[in-house]
Structure formats: structure tokens, C-alpha cells
């Protein structure tokens, strides 16, 4: 299955549907080599314009899905095909849904103490038969890293989900991927918080109206400053289109 990659502010984003993204992950697990999947929203793509390491990591990823209305808009504005939004949270749910049939095992790494365990319980209720082989919170000191790596390796997951925030999760996964030898690693931001019920997802009508970002800002006013990323992103995509 060949799909296009679209250059958005210097990052190659895969023009995939949700089902194509899931298919890719299944193939990556089959290949067995350590690989990374990234979920690129407007804020991440904007960050990559001034974070060369993040940009390099994203361009080295095996799959970069268009997470969010901003990314889909950008691709289309640049005259490219972008079938639909593939939100990181939704991708995780789809992978968890098909996991029992493929015997795929997950490790949940990140978020505040107790949250990954709650997300695990939620997944076990929603997706009967799912195997979540370990959890670890995302607040650690440099000297804990060897321990964390040993814990993840010894539980032998097929998919490592890391929720440490952007770009910490991408950098951590990239740095340790060869040592970890996990077939697929994905940075998943606030996914465990939402699964644990600590943070709410926007109602469907708001998601459909492409207003999920507004809902998040309303719920967590501390994030409101991050909204500035959106107009900046739009401006930079315009510049890219006009060849500036």
C-alpha cells in the first residue's frame, strides 16, 4: 500500500486514513524492527520549525499521521490530498480494538502516578482480551531511566505508548528505541489522561466542527497560551505555499 507524504513546514506527513494507519502499524509490528509512529498536530509541526531535533525525529519516523484539523487543513491548502484526520487518541483506541485478535501487547508509559493504571483498567473494560503488560508513570529522574528501560524491555510489548508530552516523548522514544527493541513506539500526549477520565475529550459535535482545540483551551486555561500556535501555524503554511 503506497500513500503520499505531504511536506508541511518541513515535516513529511503521511496522507493516510485511520484504517490505513492501523494497517501500517500492523505491518510495522510484523517487520519487528524498532519503529516510531508520530501524531502530528499543528502545534507539533510548528514546534518542529524551531526544534531541529524534533524535525529530524519526525522525518525519521515510519509513520506520521495527520492529527488534528490544522494538519488536514494545511495539506489541503498546499494543494495535496489528505483524506481525514487521524487523532492520536483515536488511533490508540483503534489499535487497542484490534489488538486481541492479533495478540498485540501494550506497555503504557507516562502521565502522573496512577493514571496509566486507570487507563489500563479502562482499556481492559472497553477491549476484552487486551494485554497490557506493564505501566509506568512519566515523572522520573535521569537516574531512574535504566530501571524504566529494563521494566519496559522485560515485559516485551509490541506497542509502547509514551505519554510524556511533546517533544519529550518523541525525543525519549527516539533516543532509546534501539535499546528497547520494541516494534512500534508512539508518543500519545494526553491519551492516558483522557482514558482515565481525568481530562475530557471534546463532545463529538465540537470535534466535527473542528473545535477540539477550543474545548481543550476552555477546560485547561493554562493551555490557552498554546492557542497562539494556531495562527502562527496558519501564517507559516501560507508562507510555504507562497514559496517564501
Q: How far is the CB of 240 from ligand UDP (least distance, A)?
A: 23
Strand order in the sheet with 63-66: 63-66, 35-40, 184-187, 159-163, 105-110, 131-136
Site residues (CB under 6 A) for ligand UDP, limited to 93-132: 110-112
Q: Examine residue 138 and tell whether it contacts ligand UDP (CB under 6 A).
A: yes
Report the residue from 16, 91, 160, 166 that binds ligand UDP according to the rule CB under 6 A.
Answer: 166
Rounded Cα distance between 244 and 227, Å, is 24
Is the CB of 70 or the CB of 110 nearer to ligand UDP? 110
DSSP secondary structure string for all residues of 153-165: HHH--SEEEEES-
Report the residue from 139, 150, 156, 228 that binds ligand UDP according to the rule CB under 6 A.
Answer: 139
Bridging pattern class, strands 5-8 and 11-14 = antiparallel
Choose among 107, 14, 112: nearest CA to 66: 14
Report the residue from 180, 193, 213, 236 that binds ligand UDP according to the rule CB under 6 A.
Answer: 193
Give the single-character DSSP code of 99: H
Task: Name the residue number minimizing CB distance to ligand UDP.
Answer: 138
Binding site for ligand UDP (CB under 6 A): 110-112, 138-139, 163-166, 168, 189-190, 192-193
Amino acid at each position: 500500500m503506497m500513500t503520499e507524504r505531504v511536506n508541511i513546514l518541513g515535516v513529511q506527513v503521511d496522507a493516510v486514513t485511520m484504517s490505513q494507519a492501523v494497517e501500517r502499524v500492523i505491518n510495522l509490528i510484523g517487520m519487528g524492527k524498532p519503529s516510531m509512529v508520530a501524531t502530528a498536530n499543528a502545534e507539533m509541526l510548528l514546534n518542529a520549525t524551531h526544534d531541529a531535533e524534533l524535525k529530524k525525529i519526525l522525518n525519521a519516523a515510519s509513520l506520521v499521521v495527520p492529527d488534528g484539523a490544522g494538519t488536514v487543513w494545511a495539506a489541503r491548502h498546499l494543494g495535496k490530498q489528505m483524506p481525514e484526520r487521524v487523532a492520536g487518541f483515536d488511533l490508540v483506541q483503534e489499535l487497542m480494538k484490534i489488538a486481541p485478535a492479533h495478540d498485540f501487547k501494550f506497555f503504557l508509559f507516562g502521565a502522573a502516578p496512577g493514571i496509566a493504571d486507570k487507563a489500563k483498567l479502562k482499556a481492559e473494560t472497553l477491549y476484552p482480551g487486551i494485554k497490557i503488560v506493564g505501566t509506568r508513570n512519566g515523572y522520573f529522574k535521569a537516574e531512574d531511566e535504566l530501571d524504566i528501560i529494563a521494566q519496559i524491555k522485560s515485559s516485551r510489548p509490541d506497542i509502547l505508548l509514551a505519554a510524556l508530552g511533546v517533544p519529550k516523548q518523541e525525543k525519549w522514544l527516539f533516543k532509546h528505541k534501539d535499546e528497547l527493541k520494541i516494534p512500534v513506539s508512539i508518543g500519545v500526549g494526553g491519551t492516558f489522561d483522557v482514558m482515565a477520565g481525568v481530562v475530557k475529550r471534546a463532545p463529538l459535535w465540537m470535534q466535527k466542527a473542528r473545535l477540539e482545540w477550543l474545548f481543550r483551551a476552555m477546560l485547561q486555561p493554562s493551555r490557552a497560551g498554546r492557542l497562539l500556535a494556531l495562527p502562527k501555524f496558519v501564517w507559516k503554511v501560507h508562507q510555504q505555499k507562497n514559496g517564501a
